[in-house]
Amino acid sequence: MPPGNLPVRPTTDFAKTGLFNLLQSRIELHECDSLDLFSGTGSITMELASRGCKTVTCVDRDAGCIKFIESTAKKLMDESIKPIKSDVFKYLTNCKSKFDLIFADPPFDATYRNELHQTVFEKDLLNANGILVIEHPSRESLANLHSFEFERKYGNVAFSFFLKFEKE
């Protein structure tokens, strides 16, 4: 159980179940190199690792969140989890890796979801047929952004899926 003093808004179990049902029908998680941005308590990170992702890099700027993820990964003896304490945009700007799946859950009051999407595609951080998923308030639409595939809503939460096509 995460400490109560972390500055997070965890994805609900209802939304997370829906998200992973969608992912499993679209991608082989056990073959994935994944990236969890704004990872918070690591709920998505742990789910990705438990479903067999080869690597799960998770990025959050809060030291308490990263310490909690490190501690949990150590208890689980899971070496696939790579926690990184960093501002997400600084990390993305300097990132030299590519991923099959990038999940981003920026704060709901954030105004930079479009910039996040743009940075991922401009920096070419997805492998061919890679998926970017951005969690956002369900009242907001990201359907106008490049490579948008679809959106699913779960109460106040929505997930927008973007696909990097093989020939991009």
The tokens describing 103, both together, are 């999940």
Q: Please report, for residues 114, 118, 132, 139, the alpha-carbon distance to residue 153 in angstroms, rounded to integers and kept in the order given.
A: 19, 22, 16, 9
- pTM, full prediction: 0.91
The full set of domains in the chain, from first to last, is 15-22+29-105+116-163 (3.40.50.150)
pLDDT tens, residue order, the chain (168 aa)? 545 554 445 667 788 888 999 998 889 999 899 999 999 889 999 999 999 999 999 999 999 999 999 999 999 888 999 999 999 999 999 999 999 999 999 988 888 999 999 999 999 999 999 999 999 999 999 999 999 999 999 988 999 999 998 764
